[in-house]
Structure formats: structure tokens, C-alpha cells
Amino acid sequence: MAELRSRGRGGSRRPVSSAAEWTLRIGLFLFCAFPLYWMLVSSLKVSHELLASPPTFWPHEWDLRAYRKLFYETNFWRYFQNTIVVSAITTVIVVTAGVIGAYSLTRYAFPGRTLVARMTLLAYMFPPIIMLVPLFLLAREFGLVNSLLGLALTYISFALPYALWILRAFFQSIPVELEHAALIDGANRAQALLYVVAPLALPGIIATAIFTFIVAWNDFLFALVLIGRDELKTLAIGINDFFHMAVVDWGLIMAAGVMVTIPALVFFVAIQRYLIAGWGAGGVKG
């Protein structure tokens, strides 16, 4: 009887707990999604409705004027191309160097290995603005001011220490015996890293790629300092120029915000399944 009463009490609590959980989920989703929704609908409103009071949560009249102006009357596509190039270079180099460096820190014994690992994290603890002037002087010395390569190298210098630290933790969790088995079967170190370690560390590699891509995609400070020519500006700098027009076009700014958000969202959705697959591959059977 006591067991039945305990089950009854537990059963009566489950619907309430489930309802509270779903309420929390829906509330969190609305909190995160509403700014994106508001940006989208604002980019599709006519000018007088965009600044109406009280605001309208659904456009009474749809208008693509802001997108036509963005695509045909600004250098948006040039800014977009520059941002894609810089973000791709940064992500590829950081992930490649991070995987090789983290593997070396976990699989090779050399004096000061732990110190090197800790110094990588220490380098990431400094605020980027502290390094702004030294990096600018260094870029000017090497002729990398107004250069997408110089901007990418700046992003790499800040993203790589974090990538090394995160990937090092993932590689440490992978049993060394798996590599030993591959080496016994005739594989070399590079093959063991590529076919054994990397698939098991896939969640960490993908998380590092997401972090690096977002850092390069969203940066404003270093692009503002290192890039002055309009044809080399990234999206963050180019869109900021829209605020300096004689008349601020909020519909244009909202349309630009939508177009900036879409690639980052698509990038995350595209590799999310690989992240989940990596988690599944990380379960090693005895």
C-alpha cells in the first residue's frame, strides 16, 4: 500500500513537473527568438510603419525596399565576401593548428609541456583591447594594414590559444591504447591522428570551429583599426557606416542584420549533425 501511495504521489507530480519544464523551454525560446523575429519583420515594414507608436508586431504592408537598397545601392556583397574570406581562413588555420598542437601536448612528453599548456590559456585571459596598439604597429611594420590576411592573422592569434586548451582536454580523454592498436596494425602517427583520434574528438573540433568562426564573423574592434579602405571592410564595419548616413535608414539596418545572422545560423545548423555524430562516436566499447 505504501508503495502504491508513493507511486500515486510521484505520478501526480510528473504532469506538473513536465508542464513547468515545457513552460520554461517555451519561455526561453521566445526570449531568444523574439529579437530575431523583430529584426526580420522590421526589415519588411514600410518606413512609416517601422517607427509607428505603438509598434506593430506584424506588418500591415510588406515591403522589400530595404533589401533592394541593401543589395543594389550599398557595398554589402563586397563586405559579405570579405567577411567570408577572413572567417574561412581563420577557422581553417585555427582548427588545423589547434588539432596538431593539442595532439602534441597530450601525446609527446617534453620538458615544460604542462607549462606550455597553461601559457596558452594565460594568453587568452588578456582583453583583446590591450593588444590593439601593439598589433596595429606590428601589422604596419609588415605591411598588413588594409589587408584581409593581416586581419585573419589577428583573429588567429586570439582564437588559437583557446582552441589549444579546449582540444587538449578532448584529446586527454581519448585512451592512448586505441592509438597503440593502430600503430601496431601498421598506421603511422599522422594516420592514427586522422583516423582514430580526430573522429573521437569531433565534438571538440566542431565546437572549436564554431567558436572561431563566430569570433571572426562578429569582430568589430580589430577590423575598425586595421581596415580603412571601403572595398576591404567586413560586415561589422560596413554596417556600422549605415549609422553615419544623413538619414538613418532603420529598415536598411534591420535587413543587413538579417543577412548577417543567416550565414552564422546556417553554418551552425549544417555542422550540428556532425557534432551529435561525434558525441555518439565518442562512446568506446570495451
164-215 tens-digit pLDDT: 888 888 888 888 888 888 888 888 888 888 888 888 888 888 888 888 998 8
Q: How confident is the model at residue 277 (pLDDT cuts 50, 70, 90)?
A: low
* Same domain? 157 vs 246: yes
Measured between alpha carbons, how far is 171 from 173 in angstroms, rounded to an integer? 5
Which of these three, 46, 63, 80, is where a domain ends? 63
Which of these three, 63, 87, 103, is where a domain ends? 63
Instruction: Inform me whether the pLDDT recorded for 109 exceeds 50.
Output: yes
Q: Is 89 helix (H, G, I), strand (E, B) or coil?
A: helix
* For range 116-122, the mean pLDDT: 75
Give the count of alpha carbons within 13 A of 181, CB side only: 7
> Where residue 156 sits, what CATH number does that domain have?
1.10.3720.10
Question: pLDDT, tens digit, for every residue of 135-160?
Answer: 889 999 999 999 999 999 999 988 88
Q: What percent of the chain has pLDDT over 70?
A: 88
Measured between alpha carbons, how far is 83 from 98 in angstroms, rounded to an integer? 22
pTM: 0.79
All three cell numbers of 273, joined, read 549533425
Question: pLDDT, tens digit, for every residue of 228-237?
Answer: 898 999 998 9
Q: How confident is the model at residue 133 (pLDDT cuts 50, 70, 90)?
A: confident
Question: pLDDT, tens digit, for every residue of 12-21?
Answer: 456 667 888 8
* Same domain? 29 vs 84: no
Which of these three, 63, 82, 97, is where a domain ends? 63
* Same domain? 74 vs 26: no
* Same domain? 100 vs 141: yes
For residue 7, the enclosing domain spans 2-63
